[in-house]
């Protein structure tokens, strides 16, 4: 008679053979071990052998047989005090019912039993595996609340033990949960980490599921192309695994009859426990075994038929989904192209009249010095520039969200900026009979360094919003210095009104794009983008915004920004933007521009700063005059009739003329840079612009040419 140690050795050998894919030999050794375990009446060894037999059938995708033997194993395991084996058997039954039979309710019941046993044993890895399986099952059926605590335990366990075998599925489950919570950035990061780790581990099974769940997430986000790509990767990996499974199944087809015979032998071994009844019940046992085998074979055949139908249906559904995704992706690309063209056109059409407003304002301030002392023209210029910035940000809000906008580093007066905002919004305040007050902490230096235009845009939106929802009241702008670290001054800005207030249910909505809240019977105009842009601009500053409000009593918006105070740097910044406009040398400039107002503004701007200026209305006129007159630099508009600025520049270069050509355009710089360089242009200035910027660029390119000569 074999000893317990010898039987354990046989069980270990059968387990290793199963794990290496030698199922036939594993089952044969398990039969010997089972006979010996029954002979010594050791329930724990009998349960372990049945569990190993069930695991073999599970690997062979004969799930009904696997369930049959797992249940036998559970009967003998329940006769022992070994909670570890009880936990494993319940967990494996949960796996088959949830992920193979799709009977989630029954599978989850087995998982819960497994968790009860895992709490009694010191091995937390078994508890982690069961928690992972039950979390996945809950998430598969959309029960995220029920699986939340199980996921929490898994994250704690991984942070403590760093189990690489489950990390891919864990990252995927975190992605599924954050997607359900609409925490899309975190979900996206989790899915990408799961895919990366799956690729590194060459774990096709977990990697395929990661691609599938990521595809569902991307489809939810309307990122159709990426969703399609991930679904295609899932299909490819699934097909590879299916091919591998078919190969394994093909290798074992020859031993199926022997395995069935082996099953009958195992049942026969069990009945050998009571030898005195063997002769009396032999015929019954044979008939019963035949019926059981026939029943199992029928179940197996039925399972194969159902699985084949399910696979064909799944493939058909995937084909339809792929076709729909391809169509959706094509439509998305077309819409994206139309959007880009629309943005480009609107950008150009809005910047052109704004150039006229800013330019004429500059001319009036230059020609009538006495008007510079009053607030009106300065406010007009400031408002025009603010409108330009607002137009840019509205038209390029996608760039803000993708953090493609870089903050500028300019010196400005905090008191001047706040007073300019106050003056610019005075007409709105008067309309609703409101008063704007400004209170600045005396500890704050007046000269600061930072992006004053973005900062002003934040305040303009918040103060304008407060004025719009306040009548016969007051809007306060309060600035306090919170702390100083070296040269950095942390300032808190509060915009306080005593207007209608915001309902608690609406506070979370006000920063969404195109959302307007307020009493429905009142007409509040606007795009619904103001507060959304404020939030995104503050994110560029590394800050956030807080809101406190009470209906009928008013609202307070508060945010914190760090600005630098450094007199040395301030002096350097100011000196960097200075241009020597007193030079006695007169440069000859050719302006190619078809808009009459722009011609006047550009010509006067150049001439009042000692430049000689000649204006032509189109590219043909420019080519003709260049044959007769020498110029130091050409300012070229892009959007012109007859031939545009690109074609004109190309023909100038074909003539061998090397005069610097600077594009003076209302198009976005990023849209035309590549084509401008290709045709031989030297630089780009976007209208409207500061005269100082124009002269600095002109002088720089003229000096480069003269230094070469």
Task: Supply the DSSP string of 150-183, one letter for each residue.
Answer: HHHHHHHHHHHH--TTSHHHHHHHHHHHHHHTT-
* pLDDT for 261: 45
- Distance, in Å, from the CA atom of 402 to the CA atom of 152, rounded to the nearest integer, reads 31
Q: Which residue has the higher pLDDT, 359 or 442?
A: 442
pLDDT-derived band at 637 (thresholds 50, 70, 90) equals: very high
* pLDDT for 349: 64
Per CATH, the number for 578-708 is 3.40.50.2300
Q: What is the mean pLDDT of residues 288-309?
A: 84
Which among 2, 9, 66 has a CA at the least distance from the CA of 37?
2
Reply yes or no on whether the pLDDT at 393 is more than 60.
no
Reply yes or no on whether the pLDDT at 254 is more than 60.
no
- Distance, in Å, from the CA atom of 507 to the CA atom of 158, rounded to the nearest integer, reads 37
pLDDT-derived band at 683 (thresholds 50, 70, 90) equals: very high
Reply yes or no on whether the pLDDT at 584 is more than 60.
no
- ∠ Cα 538 539 542 (to 5°): 95
Reply yes or no on whether the pLDDT at 218 is more than 50.
yes
Q: What is the mean pLDDT of residues 2-11?
A: 88
- ∠ Cα 380 385 387 (to 5°): 95
Of 186-195, 203-212, 497-506, where does the model show the most confidence?
Answer: 186-195
3-state SS, residue 186: helix
DSSP one-letter code for 521: T
* pLDDT for 130: 87
CB contact set of 577 (below 8 Å; sequence gap of 6+)? 692, 693, 696
* pLDDT for 616: 94
Q: Is 445 left (phi over 0), alpha (psi -120 to 50) or beta?
A: beta
pLDDT-derived band at 580 (thresholds 50, 70, 90) equals: very low
State phi, psi for 182 to the nearest 5 degrees: 60, 25
CB contact set of 125 (below 8 Å; sequence gap of 6+)? 161, 163
pLDDT-derived band at 360 (thresholds 50, 70, 90) equals: confident
Identify the residue whose tokens are 């260049």. Answer: 626
* pLDDT for 567: 80
* pLDDT for 348: 56
CB contact set of 295 (below 8 Å; sequence gap of 6+)? none
Confirm if 555 and 497 have CB atoms less than 8 A apart: yes
Question: Is the dihedral angle over the CA atoms 642, 647, 653, 654 positive or is it negative?
Answer: negative
3-state SS, residue 402: coil
* pLDDT for 472: 92
* pLDDT for 389: 60
Other beta carbons within 10 angstroms of residue 65's beta carbon come to 23
* pLDDT for 440: 94
* pLDDT for 394: 61
* pLDDT for 337: 57
Reply yes or no on whether the pLDDT at 56 is more than 80.
yes
3-state SS, residue 707: helix
The pair of three-digit structure tokens given for residue 192, joined into one six-digit string:
């990408």
Q: Which residue has the higher pLDDT, 541 or 273?
A: 541
Reply yes or no on whether the pLDDT at 642 is more than 60.
yes
DSSP one-letter code for 42: -
Confirm if 662 and 636 have CB atoms less than 8 A apart: yes
Reply yes or no on whether the pLDDT at 340 is more than 80.
no
* Percent with pLDDT over 70 in the chain: 80
Pick the CATH number of 1-80 from 1.25.40.10, 3.40.50.300, 2.40.50.140, 3.20.20.20: 1.25.40.10
Q: What is the mean pLDDT of residues 595-617?
A: 89
Length of the chain in residues, anyone?
709
Q: Is 517 left (phi over 0), alpha (psi -120 to 50) or beta?
A: beta
- Distance, in Å, from the CA atom of 269 to the CA atom of 410, rounded to the nearest integer, reads 89
Reply yes or no on whether the pLDDT at 505 is more than 70.
yes
Enumerate the domain spans of the chain. 1-80, 285-333, 406-574, 578-708
- Distance, in Å, from the CA atom of 177 to the CA atom of 136, rounded to the nearest integer, reads 10
Reply yes or no on whether the pLDDT at 154 is more than 70.
yes
Confirm if 109 and 128 have CB atoms less than 8 A apart: no
* pLDDT for 259: 45
- Name beta bridge partners: 450: 410
Reply yes or no on whether the pLDDT at 264 is more than 90.
no
* pLDDT for 374: 65
Q: Which residue has the higher pLDDT, 408 or 391?
A: 408
Q: What is the mean pLDDT of residues 19-37?
A: 87
Topology annotation, domain 406-574: Heat Shock Protein 90 (3.30.565)
* pLDDT for 74: 92
Q: What is the mean pLDDT of residues 432-436?
A: 92
pLDDT in tens, 531-559: 878 888 888 888 999 999 988 889 999 99
* pLDDT for 562: 94
CA distances from 205 to 16, 61, 208 (A): 21, 15, 5
Identify the residue whose tokens are 């150009």. Answer: 348
The pair of three-digit structure tokens given for residue 105, joined into one six-digit string:
């309710």
- Distance, in Å, from the CA atom of 385 to the CA atom of 359, rounded to the nearest integer, reads 11
Q: What is the mean pLDDT of residues 307-327?
A: 82
The alpha-helical segments, DSSP class H, found in 81-161 are: 83-95, 104-118, 124-140, 144-161
Question: Burial of 391 by CB count in 10 Å (0-12 exposed, 13-18 middle, 19+ buried)?
Answer: middle
Question: Is the dihedral angle over the CA atoms 31, 32, 35, 41 positive or is it negative?
Answer: negative
Reply yes or no on whether the pLDDT at 256 is more than 70.
no
Identify the residue whose tokens are 């005593």. Answer: 498
Comparing 129-138, 228-237, 401-410, 467-476, the range with the smallest average pLDDT is: 401-410
Q: What is the mean pLDDT of residues 676-698?
A: 86
pLDDT-derived band at 484 (thresholds 50, 70, 90) equals: very high
Average per-residue pLDDT for the chain: 82
> Is the bond preceding 385 in cis, omega lying within 30 degrees of 0?
no
pLDDT-derived band at 659 (thresholds 50, 70, 90) equals: very high
DSSP one-letter code for 408: -
3-state SS, residue 412: strand
């Amino acid at each position: 008679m074999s000893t317990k140690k010898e039987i354990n050795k046989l069980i270990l050998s059968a387990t290793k053979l199963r794990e290496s894919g030698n199922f036939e030999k594993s089952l044969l050794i398990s039969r010997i071990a089972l006979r010996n375990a029954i002979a010594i009446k050791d329930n724990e060894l009998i349960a372990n052998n049945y569990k190993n037999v069930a695991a073999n059938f599970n690997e062979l995708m004969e799930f009904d047989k696997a369930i049959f033997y797992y249940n036998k194993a559970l009967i003998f395991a329940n006769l022992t005090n070994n909670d570890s084996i009880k936990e494993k058997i319940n967990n494996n039954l949960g796996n088959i019912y949830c992920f193979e039979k799709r009977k989630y309710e029954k599978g989850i019941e087995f998982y819960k039993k497994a968790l009860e046993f895992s709490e009694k044993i010191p091995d937390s890895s078994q508890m982690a595996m069961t928690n992972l399986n039950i979390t996945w099952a809950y998430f598969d059926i959309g029960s995220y609340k029920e699986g939340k605590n199980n996921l929490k335990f898994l994250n704690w366990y991984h942070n403590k033990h760093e189990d690489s075998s489950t990390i891919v599925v864990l990252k995927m489950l975190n992605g599924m949960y954050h997607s359900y919570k609409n925490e899309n950035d975190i979900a996206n990061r989790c899915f990408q980490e799961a895919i990366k780790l799956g690729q590194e581990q060459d774990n096709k099974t977990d990697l395929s599921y990661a691609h599938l769940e990521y595809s569902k997430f991307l489809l939810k986000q309307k990122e159709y192309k990426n969703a399609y790509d991930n679904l295609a990767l899932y299909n490819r990996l699934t097909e590879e695994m299916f091919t591998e499974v078919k190969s394994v199944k093909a290798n074992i087809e020859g031993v199926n009859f022997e395995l069935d015979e082996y099953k009958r032998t195992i049942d026969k071994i069990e009945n050998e426990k009571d030898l005195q009844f063997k002769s009396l019940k032999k015929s019954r046992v044979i008939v019963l075994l035949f019926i059981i085998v026939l029943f199992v074979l029928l179940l197996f055949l039925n399972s194969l038929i159902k699985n084949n139908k399910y696979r064909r249906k799944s493939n058909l559904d995937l084909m339809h989904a792929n076709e729909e995704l391809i169509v959706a992706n094509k439509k998305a690309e077309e819409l994206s192209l139309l959007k880009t063209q629309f943005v480009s056109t609107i950008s150009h059409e809005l910047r052109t009249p704004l150039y006229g407003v800013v330019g004429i304002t500059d001319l009036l301030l230059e020609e009538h010095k006495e008007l510079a002392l009053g607030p009106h023209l300065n406010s007009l210029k400031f408002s025009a520039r603010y409108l330009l910035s607002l137009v840019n940000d509205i038209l390029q809000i996608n760039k803000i969200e993708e953090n493609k906008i870089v903050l500028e580093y300019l010196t400005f007066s905090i008191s001047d900026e706040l007073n300019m905002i106050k003056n610019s919004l005075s007409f709105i305040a008067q309309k609703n009979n409101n008063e704007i007050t400004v209170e600045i902490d005396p500890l704050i230096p007046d000269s600061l360094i930072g992006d004053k235009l973005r900062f002003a845009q934040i305040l303009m939106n918040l103060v304008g919003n407060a004025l719009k929802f306040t009548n016969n009241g007051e809007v306060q702008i309060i600035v306090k210095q919170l702390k100083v670290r070296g040269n950095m001054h942390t300032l808190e800005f509060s915009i306080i009104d005593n207007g209608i207030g915001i309902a608690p249910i609406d506070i979370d909505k006000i920063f969404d794009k195109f959302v307007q809240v307020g009493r429905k019977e009142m007409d509040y105009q606007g795009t619904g983008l103001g507060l959304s842009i404020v939030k995104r601009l503050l994110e560029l500053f590394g800050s956030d915004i807080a809101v406190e409000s009470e209906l009928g009593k008013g609202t307070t918006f508060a945010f914190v920004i760090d600005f630098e105070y450094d007199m040395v740097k301030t002096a350097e910044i100011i000196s960097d933007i200075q241009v020597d406009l007193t030079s006695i040398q007169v440069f000859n400039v050719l302006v190619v521009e078809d808009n009459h107002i722009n011609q006047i503004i550009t010509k006067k701007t150049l001439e009042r700063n000692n430049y000689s200026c000649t204006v032509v209305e189109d590219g043909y006129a420019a080519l003709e005059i260049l044959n007769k007159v020498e110029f130091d630099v050409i300012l070229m508009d892009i959007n012109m009739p007859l031939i545009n600025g690109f074609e004109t520049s190309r023909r100038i270069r074909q003539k061998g003329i090397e005069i610097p050509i600077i594009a003076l355009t209302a198009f976005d710089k990023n849209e035309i840079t590549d084509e401008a360089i290709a045709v031989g242009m030297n630089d780009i200035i976007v209208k409207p612009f500061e005269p100082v910027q124009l002269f600095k660029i002109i002088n720089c390119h003229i000096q480069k040419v003269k230094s070469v000569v």
